[in-house]
Amino acid sequence: MIALRSLHEKVSCFTLTKQKLRKLRLQAVRRGVWFRGLSRVDRALVNLTIKVVDGVRSFTLAKALLSVIKKLEDAFESRVSHMLKEVGFPLARKLSLFAQKWGNDLAQNWMHDVSFAKFLAIMHINNPGVFKV
């Protein structure tokens, strides 16, 4: 029930209007994620909402639109930034802990270093699939 309340608060503070949905759709089409990142039903929901309403007042419709917006946000995220979260920082943390066990006290800063994590993520992306563990 708490999650439902927090979602209701998000919906109430973020008003969905026709203009905002149009802008989001245009941005998604320009970045090439409108067809790749959304299902046919999700695209139809956004298109029909733009055609029919000026502002979303229904909680159920807003909840459905927010899930579509979340999918688009995930699709907008670049591959490097996704790999930075999924691979870079966890790998930097592991390497930092290993180096600390071996006696390197300065290695504690490695797990929070964005440049080091980005380096590890890009190395992971460029590593051929045969060598990935």
Q: Each residue of 84-121: pLDDT tens digit?
A: 889 999 999 999 999 999 999 899 999 999 999 999 99
Measure the CA–CA gap between 38 and 16, rounded to whole angstroms. 18
| Domain match, 17 and 58 both | yes
Q: What is the domain count for the chain?
A: 2
**What is the predicted pLDDT for the residue at 131?**
59
Token duo for residue 12: 């109430």
User: Quick one: pLDDT at residue 10?
Assistant: 53
Are 34 and 95 within one domain?
no
Same-domain check for residues 58 and 11:
yes
Same domain, residue pair 12 and 69:
yes
Structural domain that includes position 115: 80-126
Q: Per the domain annotation, does 131 fall within a domain?
A: no
Between CA 7 and CA 59 the distance in angstroms is: 10
What pTM did the predictor assign? 0.59
Q: Which residues of the chain have pLDDT under 70?
A: 1-14, 129-133
